[in-house]
Amino acid sequence: MTGPGHDIIAIGASAGGVEALTTLVRDLPPDLPAAVFVVLHLPPDATSFLPRILGRVGPLPAAHPTDGEPIVPGRIYVAPPDFHLLVRRGAIRVVRGPRENRHRPAVDPLFRSAAVTYGPRAVGVVLSGALDDGTAGLQAIKRRGGVAIVQDPEEALFPSMPASALQFAAVDHCLPLARIAPTLAAIAREPAGEEGAHPVPKDLEIEVRMAEQNPATMAATPPPGELSALTCPECRGPLWEAHDNGLLRFRCRVGHAFSAESMLAEQSEALEEALWTAVNTLEESALMAARLAQEARGRRHDRVAACFDERTREMQRRAELIRQVLVSGHSDATADAETAGK
């Protein structure tokens, strides 16, 4: 016995995604018997013209949905800036939950919610993008019996997202962009399997509720996985780590989530910020030492002035060393920078 068709299509993209999305949407049929949900990584303060662009190039109407809006087949729902886009039974959630993989909106929460709510009816599509957002979400869709599609990394402007999905998820179709829309049109008309054959895993349900900031879940349930020795770079809380078919992921108690790659990227930014702070502190210390040396000379305390002169030179040397590391971007000089800051 079969259920409804594959009528929930979730698409995720990042860098190079506008070009990929316009091509895909342009080729969708006007009578597509599925609702399409789109997440494109955007800066939180950006103004998104993506619905207007997609509605102009393709036959389906596109818009930023409102929280609680009913799901209607044949429409494209685009995540607004600084909000996650989730799906629940028959309705859309637009929530300002914790960032995942350093983004809000992020692809994984959309895919995961589609998997939990619609199981085999969900189709996940990963397009051009950097790092690996969408991989864990695509794994979730496969765990619930859904369909996984990725753009061929060889033709993607930024191949990291589809390449990661290919590496860690059981992808059903790896296709050039021109073939994705016809494939979606065909899959949407195929009957999906029975949801009962793929029960909702407890960890996926917890993660969806965390994305929604469900009060009961946040108060009583720790994140899935094992408590790690690492701290969340967003809120400095403890991180739990989970392994999904070789994909290492982290999530904190309040809901921030990271893949290993996005965690490294976030830590690199934090390190750069700390090093620039060190440069500023060292240069201010040099200015203060120079001022104290000048005042000591005014009082004819030459030995004291010489000590402050030496401190000025040492602070300037350390600041310049760290500045060279930052400007060059050479990770192998990090140890020298750390030594300079001591």
Q: For 210-236, write each residue's pLDDT tens digit.
A: 999 888 777 778 899 999 999 998 899
C-alpha angle 85/226/106, rounded to 5°?
15
Structure tokens at 333: 């000089």
| 14 assigned to active site | yes
Residue type, 252: C
- Distant-in-sequence, close-in-space partners of 330: CB < 8 Å, separation ≥ 6: none
**Cis (ω within 30 of 0) for the bond into 176?**
no
Record the pTM: 0.85
Catalytic residue among 7, 27, 132, 133: 133
Would you give per-residue pLDDT tens digits along the chain (342 residues)?
Answer: 445 899 999 999 999 999 999 999 999 999 999 999 999 999 999 899 999 999 999 999 999 999 999 999 999 999 999 999 999 999 999 999 999 999 999 999 999 999 999 999 999 999 999 999 999 999 999 999 999 999 999 999 999 999 999 999 999 999 999 999 999 999 999 999 888 889 999 999 999 999 998 887 777 788 999 999 999 988 999 999 999 888 999 999 999 999 999 999 888 888 888 899 999 999 999 999 999 999 999 999 999 999 999 999 999 999 999 999 889 875 444 444 444 444
The strand ranges marked E within the chain are: 8-13, 35-40, 62-63, 76-78, 84-88, 91-95, 122-126, 147-151, 173-175, 226-231, 238-244, 247-252, 257-259
Q: Are 181 and 24 in contact (CB under 8 A)?
A: yes
Q: Going by DSSP bridges, is the β-strand pair 35-40/76-78 parallel, antiparallel, or unpaired?
A: parallel
pLDDT value of position 338:
43
Catalytic residue among 6, 7, 14, 128: 14
Catalytic residue among 6, 7, 41, 108: 41
Q: Please choose, from the candidates 212, 210, 214, the residue with its C-alpha nearest in 3D space to the C-alpha of residue 237.
A: 210
| 133 assigned to active site | yes
Q: Please choose, from the candidates 234, 230, 270, 268, the residue with its C-alpha nearest in 3D space to the C-alpha of residue 249.
A: 230
| 331 assigned to active site | no
Q: Please classify residue 322 by burial: count the beta carbons closer than 10 Å to its beta carbon, then call 0-12 exposed, 13-18 middle and 19+ buried.
A: buried
Cα–Cα distance, 83 to 131 (Å, whole number): 20
- Distant-in-sequence, close-in-space partners of 130: CB < 8 Å, separation ≥ 6: 14, 15, 158, 160, 161
